[in-house]
Amino acid sequence: MPVVLYKQSELTVNGKKIKTQLSRIGSSIITQKAGENVATLHFKTPIWFLLLLCLSILAWLSLLAFGIFKYIKKAN
């Protein structure tokens, strides 16, 4: 089963978290049992990404507030 894993990826196969061997291109090597297998790939978002996202939203809101303030001041 070809699955590409990154540093923050967690792979669960049949309800169990597993550590896999990686090929040289980064795809995982998973041994499967006969029958139906369920694999779930979860990516943990780094904290620095969430901080930068909040900073970006705050900057856009500040820019919007500044624009509204300038518009109101100009209208008076």
pLDDT digits (tens, 9 = 90+) for 4-48: 777 788 888 888 888 777 777 767 777 778 888 888 888 888 899
SS3 call for 47: helix
Distance separating alpha carbons of residues 71 and 16, to the nearest angstrom: 57
More confident residue, 45 or 62: 62
Largest CA distance in the chain: 76
Q: What is the predicted pLDDT for the residue at 1? A: 62
Full-prediction pTM beyond 0.85?
no
